[in-house]
Copies of this chain bind each other. A is one copy, B any other.
Amino acid sequence: MFVLVNLKTYPCDPLEIATAVRDVDETTDARLAVAPQAIHIERVAETGVETWAQHVDPIEHGSNTGHTLAESVADAGAVGTLVNHSERRLKLADIDGAVRAAERADLETVVCANNPEQIGAGAALGPDAVAVEPPELIGTGTPVSQADPGVVENAVVAAENVDDDVSVLCGAGISTGEDVTAADDLGTEGVLLASGVAKADNPRAALDDLVEPL
């Protein structure tokens, strides 16, 4: 299982969480990574943790003031990027452009979407993975795998139907090892989570709990 911890713009210490993710990664067969704010990528990557971006723009080098360039993300040490997170939704043509930009910079890609139809659409763009995150569950602590397991199962089917090389991750409400196991049982290959670790009193303990069943 792949466990990707999205730090959003939470008021957490990105280096403290990065270090915890790195250390827990060494204790488990699971693959752990952290997605800090773009401005923190370089320092987070220097801890040795697997580092992801939260977003890249569908651009190349050039006149793009205020944008996030995939090449710069990769140069700073990231190995992958989220695209189209529900808090940073893009036009269809721009998701395509962002996935192409990420490929050009050798970044792995996870295209986020809200339901099985959109997961199929995301998979058709050829990312490495898609992540199904019903927006109404994000940040609630109720895992999608428990609130609505059908949406996860249907997302897995939708992605397979389009391109069975595209992995499916599951997000929204994941905070315990039990949630990760449930996501695994529903056929996904990983989870996205955020507040369950980033807002935990003890991020290290939260991560230990998450990977305990794996």
A residues contacting B by CB (< 8 A) are: 6, 8-11, 37-43, 54-55, 59-69, 72-73, 76, 82, 84-93, 95-96, 113-115, 117-118, 120-126, 138-139, 158, 161-162, 194-195
Contacts and interface: CB of A to CB of B under 8 A. Distances in A.
A63 B84 CA distance: 14
A39 B125 contact: no
Contacts of A76: 39
Given A9-B72, A162-B161, A124 B120 contact: yes
A55 B67 CA distance: 8
B92 A11 contact: no
A65 B39 contact: no
B121 A124 contact: yes
Contact of A89 (B93, B124, B126): B93
Contact of A85 (B9, B61, B65, B95): B65
Contacts of A89: 91-93
A38 B56 CA distance: 12
Contacts of A60: 9
Given A8-B62, A65-B87, A96-B121, A41 B42 contact: no
A194 B66 CA distance: 13
Contacts of A38: 38-39, 68
Contacts of A161: 162
A86 B91 CA distance: 11
Contacts of A93: 86, 89, 113-114, 118
Given A39-B76, A62-B8, A96 B118 contact: yes
A174 to B, nearest CB: 14
